[in-house]
Chains A and B, each alone.
Chain A
Amino acid sequence: MKHSRRLSRRDFLKTSAALGAGLTLSQSLPALARTRRQDDELVMWWWGEQELPGLQAWVDDTVAAYTGAKVSAMLQNTDVVISQFQTAAAANEAPDVQFLWNGIYHMESVWFGYLAPLNGLVDQAVLDRSGATRLSFYQGDQYRIGWYPLPMIWEYNKDVFDAAGLDADNPPKTWDALLDACDKIKTSGVDPIGGGVQDGFWGEWYLGHALAQSLDSPSEALDLFIGDLDFREPKYHEFWVRLEELKTSGFLNDSMSSLELYPGIDLVVTGQLGMSESIGTRVPADNDTLNGRVGVMTMPVFGTGALAGKPILDSQGLGISSQTEQKEQAAAFLEFMHAPEQLAKFWELTHWMPADSTWDSSVIDAPIVQQLWDGWVTSADSIPYIPNLMPAQFWTDAMFVASQEIIAGTMTGEAAGDLAARVVQEWRDFNPDLVENYQKWADDLR
């Protein structure tokens, strides 16, 4: 016979008491954790293994080799890198060291007071050689130290170029030459150019390469994004008109709208696509797969701005929370990351370059990586990556929408300019408290 167990009043009260105690404990745990962490260790939240395999091994190695403090490193999910840090900072729970994307992706945290200036904390010589780029500065202070460089490139398949009768060692440099090359590649039976725009990042990269061609300085981009200049002016939406031209000419791959960024770039490696936008960290692997038949180039020029045709260099970086009581220890750890032994380990474990001009680059074993080091990373001509100046609302409501719709054939470049102008106005309405900060930042970049 089964006995059903009834909840007695005593059990009920016990359960209630346990729940209450649990609740109280859960409220006090973060405070306990914070106290313990401040006493014993540095906490670092980082990101990068997602785009640079081997970085986790390097972080593990660096943490193990560092004797100045115990370091606890946590790899963050791509979607929450910024929000996780900002939420933690707002609750006074920020990590000591935080991974920071460049430009606006960390500048809003600067404006909210969540990040400490690194000048005076980190050795100035280390800061200077870390390649953090101009977009890490605000009102004279530097908030990010460079970690590893990201050359923004156009990648092409040399075999496809050969088959189309093109000179694979001299890729097109002007827009007309690009259209001519596309025509020849298409005639050879391969989609000339494209990739995958479904997740939106191809559109962001395209804006980075193409909008820059109409600009004389990064500050001009900031003026555009905050509405002090107007996207409806032909000069400022010409880059979308050029994308529309590639679409209407039939040069983009048909699958572009339904593919994501990296599967789209893979089409270059498999010989189904002539050219695509890419990123330096992908090049070594792609080049190995194609037995050295990958080429890199800057975007062919159509614009007349001072930034047209220049190599674009972004970098990933790290910063220090303004809330940590261990700023000096955190700074010492960042300096340790730039010690010669750790820089050498970086190459060994990731087969990619660290962001440090004193790194011994003689270990580079592939000509194409050397080309990236000379032509992008250490070049005096390199310019910042313009999308790093773009407010998030512009990313989601203008760039993402316009690039996808132009590629789908449902929007013109001119209409994209109208959309961008409207979104900029909306951004101003939603963020009146940020406009002044952006204007000051634009002044910094002039």
Chain B
Amino acid sequence: MIRTKNPLLPYFFVAPLVLLLLFVFGYPLVQIFDFSFRRIRGIDGPWVGLENYQLILNQPLFHEAVQHNVQLLIAVPIILILSLIIAVILYDRVPGWRIYRTIVFIPYILAVPIVAVVLKKFFQYDGPFNEALRVVGLDLFALDWMGSPDLALWTVLSVIIWREIVFCIVLMLARLLSLDEEMLEAAQLDGAGWWQRLWFIILPQMAGVIEFYFVVSFITMIAAVFSYIFMIGKGGPGTSTMVLELYIFNFLTRSSLPGVASAVSVMLFLVTTVLILILFWVRRGEREQELA
């Protein structure tokens, strides 16, 4: 271990990297905050105070976008429950588990734009999904999955779940593989059934990874679904799949109003920061409980 009498020396060593990080992350953040208070044309513009925020908050489309992001949060518990079940099944090494594990991971190695384009065609009104339904006589269920404003958001949601679930399964499986098998075997010898082992032994030990994924996927649904939305329907039909990221994109690249886009970005940043802080707070509380 290196010992030094000068307490500032370690800071000196890390300073270049800290400065680099500040430049890479800090500078754009400051710039975005600054932009959000200006009417930017190109890369500069006059100070307008809170006007951008007021305009956004008064626009019905913004509220629709927020509402759709909130609706997408339904995916979080669905993904968690499904992936937990699938991970436990794979962990139990049911016959053919190696093949199932490979199949389950396939969606995650496909790029989102490819997934979106393929599934968009799959769900078209005259696409393979509806054709299959018609062939088996289920014409009644051959709906306009992508073209109906009532259905489009739920179709996008199903595509998001289909792909994003894989990351959760990987996390769950990794945690399961690190569990103490002796405890599970002992429970089995004592007569605990599958459900009892899951509920009383496996789940309590997976609380940490579940909390982690909960926050990560929460942030994903609020601030990282753009590629799905843009590739599938660009917010349509109508405004039925408009989300905050697309709202930002439209103001930034189409309406050439980076100040407005920055104001929404700042709001999004603050929301996600609060979520991360909540996670840290919960985790710290748990750690303190464990130590006590």
Contacts and interface: CB of A to CB of B under 8 A. Distances in A.
Nearest to B45: A433
Given A82-B256, A258-B125, A9 B146 contact: no
9 contacts: A90-B44, A200-B234, A254-B126, A258-B127, A259-B124, A392-B255, A401-B238, A408-B147, A426-B59
A255 interface: yes
B238 A79 contact: no
Given A401-B238, A429-B55, A258 B124 contact: yes
A16 interface: yes
Contact of B238 (A86, A255, A405): A405
B62 to A, nearest CB: 10
B256 A392 contact: yes
Interface string B203-243: 00000000000000000000000000000011111110000
Size bracket of the B interface: 35 or more
B42 A86 contact: yes
A248 interface: no
A194 to B, nearest CB: 12
B199 interface: no
B254 interface: yes
B146 A395 contact: no
A12 B23 contact: no
Contacts of B43: 87, 90-91
Interface string B249-292: 01011111100100000000000000000000000000000000
B17 A83 contact: no
B41 A112 contact: yes
Contact of A258 (B17, B59, B147, B239): B147
B253 A393 contact: no
A401 B61 CA distance: 11
Nearest to A400: B236
Which of the listed residues B146, B150, B235, B237 has the most CB atoms from chain A within 10 Å of its own CB? B237
Interface in A71-104: 79-80, 82-83, 86-87, 89-91
Interface of B: 2, 13, 16-17, 20, 23, 39, 41-44, 55, 59-61, 123-127, 144-150, 233-239, 250, 252-257, 260
B123 A431 contact: no
B236 A16 contact: no
B61 A397 contact: yes
A19 B17 CA distance: 8
Given A90-B42, A198-B147, A404 B237 contact: yes
B256 A89 contact: no
A410 B42 contact: no
Contacts of A430: 55, 255, 257, 260
B253 A257 contact: no
Interface string A341-378: 00000000000000000000000000000000000000
A299 to B, nearest CB: 23
A108 interface: yes
A272 to B, nearest CB: 9
A375 B167 CA distance: 58
Contacts of B237: 197-198, 257, 404-405, 407-408
Contact of B147 (A83, A91, A256): A256
A261 B255 CA distance: 22
A396 B17 contact: no
B16 A258 contact: no
A89 B235 CA distance: 29
B151 to A, nearest CB: 10
Contact of B256 (A9, A83, A258, A401): A83
A431 B251 CA distance: 11
A197 B237 CA distance: 9
Interface in A291-342: none
B154 to A, nearest CB: 14
A407 B237 CA distance: 9
A11 B255 CA distance: 48
Contacts of B254: 392-393, 395-396
Which of the listed residues B13, B233, B238 has the most CB atoms from chain A within 10 Å of its own CB? B238
Which of the listed residues B17, B44, B60, B255 has the most CB atoms from chain A within 10 Å of its own CB? B255
A200 B126 CA distance: 19
B16 A16 contact: yes
Contact of A198 (B20, B126, B146): B146
B234 A199 contact: yes
Nearest to B250: A396
Nearest to A427: B255
A405 B254 CA distance: 21
Interface string A400-437: 11001101101100000000001000100111010000
B253 A17 contact: no
Interface string A226-258: 000000000000000000000000000011111
Contacts of B145: 258
Given A257-B148, A392-B254, A430-B255, A200 B236 contact: yes
A391 B254 CA distance: 9
Contact of A86 (B2, B20, B147, B256): B256
Contacts of A257: 125, 144, 146-148, 237
A259 B144 CA distance: 11
Given A90-B43, A257-B125, A259-B124, 7 more contacts: A23-B23, A82-B256, A257-B146, A258-B125, A396-B254, A401-B238, A405-B149
Contacts of A16: 16-17
A249 to B, nearest CB: 18
Contacts of A426: 55, 59
Contacts of A254: 125-126, 144
A13 interface: yes
Contacts of B2: 9
A165 interface: no
Contacts of A189: none
A2 to B, nearest CB: 22
Contacts of A86: 42, 256
Contacts of A68: none
A80 B252 CA distance: 11
Contact of A112 (B23, B42, B124): B42
A86 to B, nearest CB: 6
B65 to A, nearest CB: 11
A53 interface: no
A226 to B, nearest CB: 14
Given A112-B42, A255-B124, A13 B252 contact: no
Given A257-B237, A392-B256, A408-B149, A433 B39 contact: yes
A86 B253 CA distance: 10
A108 B42 CA distance: 11
